[in-house]
Structure 1
Amino acid sequence: MISENSYFNNNVKSLGYTTAEGKSTLGVMEPGEYEFSTSLHETMTVIEGEMTVKLPNSNEWATYKAGEAYEIDANKSFLVKVGTQTSYLCQYQ
């Protein structure tokens, strides 16, 4: 079953699905700044566009472009800035 998710006044939308490898979401973010929280370990891969991210326990912002990925442990919060519509794949473990 495909699930539909909407966050931040419809500025972030995703479709969730489950395969033999586990749960994933494909989504799009409108330009803006967002704070996300995790309940599971996440691997976030930028598909198109770019994300500037401040990961937990870091004072530095890092920019990830199409094809690049970053990981966040479970039960953490992180900040994301996007300047243009950006698509992503988030895989949960």
Structure 2
Amino acid sequence: MLDVNQYFDGKVKSIALQTETLPATVGVMTAGDYEFGTSQKEVMTVVSGSMSVKLPGSDTFQTFTQGQSFNLDANVKFQVSISADTVYFCTYE
């Protein structure tokens, strides 16, 4: 069964699924600035578009583009800035 989630007044939408090995989400973020929190380890991959991310412990944003990934520990917050619709795939451990 697929679960659809939306955040930030519908500007971020994701569909939760179970892959062969890990739970995951695939989603879209529209232009905007967002702050997310994690409850478990995550690996986020940009499928289409780009996102500027301020990772935990960093003072600057780093841009990730199509095919690039970044890792997040559990129980952290991170900021994302999106300039155009961006598709992502995220796995959870």
Shorter-chain TM-score tier? over 0.9
Paired amino acid for 1:92: Y
State the distance in 1 between where 2:18 and 2:33 align: 28
1:1-93 aligned at under 5 Å gives the runs 1-93=1-93
State the distance in 2 between where 1:25 and 1:56 align: 21
State the distance in 1 between where 2:34 and 2:47 align: 18
TM-score (norm. length: structure 2)? 0.98
Paired amino acid for 2:4: E
- When the two chains are superposed, the root-mean-square deviation of aligned CA atoms in Å is 0.6
Paired amino acid for 1:24: A
| The 10-residue stretch of structure 1 (7-16 or 19-28) with the greater mean CA deviation from structure 2 | 19-28
Gapped regions of structure 1 (runs ≥ 5): none
State the distance in 2 between where 1:49 and 1:71 align: 18
Gapped regions of structure 2 (runs ≥ 5): none
Residues 20-69 of structure 1 deviation map (CA, whole Å, 9 limit, x = unaligned)? 31100000000000000000100000000000000001112100000000
3-state secondary structure, aligned to 1:64: strand
The alpha carbon displacement at 1:78 in A equals: 0.1
Paired amino acid for 2:43: T
TM-score (norm. length: structure 1)? 0.98
